[in-house]
Structure 1
């Protein structure tokens, strides 16, 4: 879709086109870990499920780093193209790709030399330690693939090919599901097989994304440029909210794991693994909405069409609210059925803890969509400050505060209510920041 159509075409048609494709793409991305969870529960058992949940923060960091560079670089790229500065946009792509490759190599080295120590820091011990090391080392060795894939997905989506981005993410997801089953059951590779399937998924996705270049549909390309601190800073600050949104979920999983270990032990961690992985699907849907509106908002903002910016944002809020209600209804009505998908061992205690948790935790979905969409709005209109504030509040600060207050007073119910309380608090702060931004005007990037 050309930028002129993005600025002057039917907004409802463009909204449905971009948001639907990005929601499907993000659901595909979330299935990387969800497939691991289902198959690990069946092939390794609850100890494997607990180990997987303990190392999820590392995966969240890798994926968050890729999203930070991808969303940051692609947002700057879209705004620059909206202003007609295509040469500068090519420079942003080149520097983003170089930063991603450098970070991926660093994480690969960490995977080679420091995996056991890192798994221990994440809380793994005893039987879960060896299982965690197998999974973590393999994932870290594929760091470059994860990061480069996220960068290309974001840039190609902003280059008018959201269909290809969606196809790539779904190809990666489906390959992960097939390989998960093959590696864990027929081949008996256990945790290593689950990690290998997840690591190969972005490789398949990149192969699909390469069609954008082979068909010569790309408007961006690597260009000779000198690294500039200002551009690096702009990419990182613009993409930082995306990193905070993704990585903070990993940090929160880590904090929840430590809290739950004290309250209910490994069984509680396995139960939380079920809830956190189901929540990944809801977060993926809301993130898909947020990423779907990003090109629309950025290009129209760069062109000075702020009315279309606000209409796009309002539509995203409404969609997020409706889907949030549907997720909550599903949790209230089908909690036992959801837990049964993962509880292959028939552990009664895990079933009780997880089902009770779903009823309370899913309240967060009423507010989560609005917060994630608002974060994307601020980032897309060159307001990294408010975007970061919303991200850090909902993703870390408010969660830590409520995690310190609620579990000591309410036990496991307090654990499950922590996220809903944090999202509701963030919603009030988002409203204040939005009120202050009502008179936004397009600002040129120098």
Structure 2
């Protein structure tokens, strides 16, 4: 048994004799806390850069002086969340398939799964982007967009949606780089896109006078950059993509779909919940929706570390699952919980102190100012607790139990979002919308973390009593 007084297990050294074991992944040795912090830190820098560019989009567009512009970006963001959710789902599926193979020292299997996962991802993203592109008017109508805000959101989405497959390529390449333990190059993927977007935004929006369309073009070019940088690291640096063979794709596609489908279903719950929040804000006016649009950009920037942890902990767990290091799974998960809670408290202190500056920076007025202040001062620590759900979902996806994450995330989207939002908004207006969303999410964060920890403990007990079959997806 490992030492339960520490969050790091003591490993038994391998026997000196016998045939040499295949080289296993780097996360199967060393401090799990260090692995989590290094992976989360590098991933967080890249994510922070992307979210800051989104934040900058809203800032630059806000300088145009139209409140409808901020509302339009809020509506468009609710639609684009579907594409991001799919990209995250497919990248998680790639990690769940590739990292256990690397942990077990089976790189040929990892290379085959990597190329087939990437092909699968491009196909799925192309279909989704086409469906959304054709459905833009209907979707914006459901969200409550009208008049000028409707026109601006439509124009923005028509451009950005075309580049969705490139975004998914970049996200999947970053996931593959994290699976092999190359946190630095995974960071370069998102960081390069953010830099290109940040440089082109003011050029297209102001210098060329393209406004909202200019922001959309800059985003599309940034996504192209992400795909190119990601493919360079995966193909030329690590040689992690095997030559595609149609005869091997279809058998693997079933395995990929078995992971990707529940993961995609899991991640689609979040944009649906966010879309419900946006539509619930609409009856309270354009100013309230504009405040929510600012928060929808502020939250990813502020909690980038938690989002990064959700992506970073997967390879750590996956490699140790493949190596059957079950005690390390438990220690890694506990360390993740500690990081989430400490990070949430730190973000709360910052947002509560600077909420007035945030509202002023985005020319917020009326209800927008009050909505921003209410979240920053009273609700932001609750979003940190919700981060336990994101981390637990990532853990379940990489431990071969993606349907657990599906149940939890849809529970949060319905019982944890729609129900409390619909009730609280009737009594407390736009403040009730935010409070219902956060408080409902907190409860599911606690439930998810508890369930995941108990499942990992069951794997560890089984490993001590009898050889346990690998719970990862079948070959």
Fold-level match, TM-score > 0.5?
yes
Q: Secondary structure at the match of 1:221?
A: coil
Q: Secondary structure at the match of 2:241?
A: coil
Moved more, 327-336 or 104-113: 104-113
Moved more, 123-132 or 220-229: 220-229
Partner of 2:299: 279
CA–CA distance in 1 between the matches of 2:473 and 2:125? 28
Summarize the Cα distance change of 1:246–1:183 in structure 2 as closer, same or farther, 3 Å threshold.
Answer: farther
In structure 2, runs of 5+ residues without a counterpart are 1-22, 464-469
Q: Is the 8 A contact 1:57 1:247 kept in 2?
A: no
Q: Secondary structure at the match of 2:144?
A: coil
Q: Is the 8 A contact 2:267 2:409 kept in 1?
A: no
Whether 1:6 aligns to 2:24 is no
Mapping for residues 108-127 of structure 1, pairs under 5 Å: 108-110=129-131, 113-127=134-148
Partner of 1:439: 458
Q: Secondary structure at the match of 1:424?
A: helix
Match 1:219 to one of 200, 222, 240: 240
Larger Rg computed on CA atoms: 2
Summarize the Cα distance change of 1:172–1:260 in structure 2 as closer, same or farther, 3 Å threshold.
Answer: same
Mapping for residues 204-215 of structure 1, pairs under 5 Å: 204-213=225-234, 215=236
CA–CA distance in 1 between the matches of 2:24 and 2:50? 27
Summarize the Cα distance change of 1:283–1:237 in structure 2 as closer, same or farther, 3 Å threshold.
Answer: farther
CA–CA distance in 2 between the matches of 1:302 and 1:174? 36
Summarize the Cα distance change of 1:338–1:216 in structure 2 as closer, same or farther, 3 Å threshold.
Answer: closer
Partner of 2:61: 40
CA–CA distance in 2 between the matches of 1:252 and 1:332? 25
Summarize the Cα distance change of 1:241–1:194 in structure 2 as closer, same or farther, 3 Å threshold.
Answer: farther
Mapping for residues 123-134 of structure 1, pairs under 5 Å: 123-134=144-155
CA–CA distance in 1 between the matches of 2:266 and 2:356? 29
Q: Is the 8 A contact 2:91 2:172 kept in 1?
A: yes
Match 2:188 to one of 156, 164, 167: 167
Q: Is the 8 A contact 1:294 1:376 kept in 2?
A: yes
Mapping for residues 94-109 of structure 1, pairs under 5 Å: 94-109=115-130
Q: TM-score, normalised by structure 2?
A: 0.86
Q: Is the 8 A contact 1:364 1:424 kept in 2?
A: yes
CA–CA distance in 2 between the matches of 1:242 and 1:337? 38
Q: Secondary structure at the match of 1:226?
A: helix
Match 1:400 to one of 402, 407, 418: 418
Pairwise CA distance, 1:244: 5.4
Count residues in correspondence. 442
CA–CA distance in 2 between the matches of 1:433 and 1:166? 31
Pairwise CA distance, 1:23: 1.5
Partner of 1:368: 386
Q: Secondary structure at the match of 1:411?
A: helix
Mapping for residues 243-262 of structure 1, pairs under 5 Å: 243=264, 246-262=267-283
- 1:182-232 CA-to-partner distances (Å, cap 9, x unmatched) read 111121111101111111112112222233256442233243143667744
Q: TM-score, normalised by structure 1?
A: 0.91
- 1:290-321 CA-to-partner distances (Å, cap 9, x unmatched) read 21121111001111101111111111111110
Q: Is the 8 A contact 1:56 1:250 kept in 2?
A: no
Q: Is the 8 A contact 1:149 1:206 kept in 2?
A: yes
In structure 1, runs of 5+ residues without a counterpart are none
Whether 1:177 aligns to 2:198 is yes
Summarize the Cα distance change of 1:435–1:9 in structure 2 as closer, same or farther, 3 Å threshold.
Answer: closer
Match 1:356 to one of 374, 382, 390: 374
CA–CA distance in 2 between the matches of 1:65 and 1:332? 32
CA–CA distance in 1 between the matches of 2:383 and 2:234? 38
Pairwise CA distance, 1:113: 4.3
Whether 1:269 aligns to 2:289 is yes
Summarize the Cα distance change of 1:239–1:159 in structure 2 as closer, same or farther, 3 Å threshold.
Answer: same
Q: Is the 8 A contact 1:75 1:380 kept in 2?
A: yes
Summarize the Cα distance change of 1:227–1:13 in structure 2 as closer, same or farther, 3 Å threshold.
Answer: same
CA–CA distance in 1 between the matches of 2:291 and 2:203? 25
Match 1:318 to one of 327, 338, 353: 338
Q: Is the 8 A contact 2:266 2:407 kept in 1?
A: no
Partner of 1:58: 79
Partner of 2:10: none
Q: Is the 8 A contact 1:69 1:236 kept in 2?
A: no
CA–CA distance in 1 between the matches of 2:133 and 2:430? 37
Pairwise CA distance, 1:337: 1.1
CA–CA distance in 1 between the matches of 2:373 and 2:28? 47
Partner of 2:439: 421
Q: Is the 8 A contact 1:32 1:201 kept in 2?
A: no
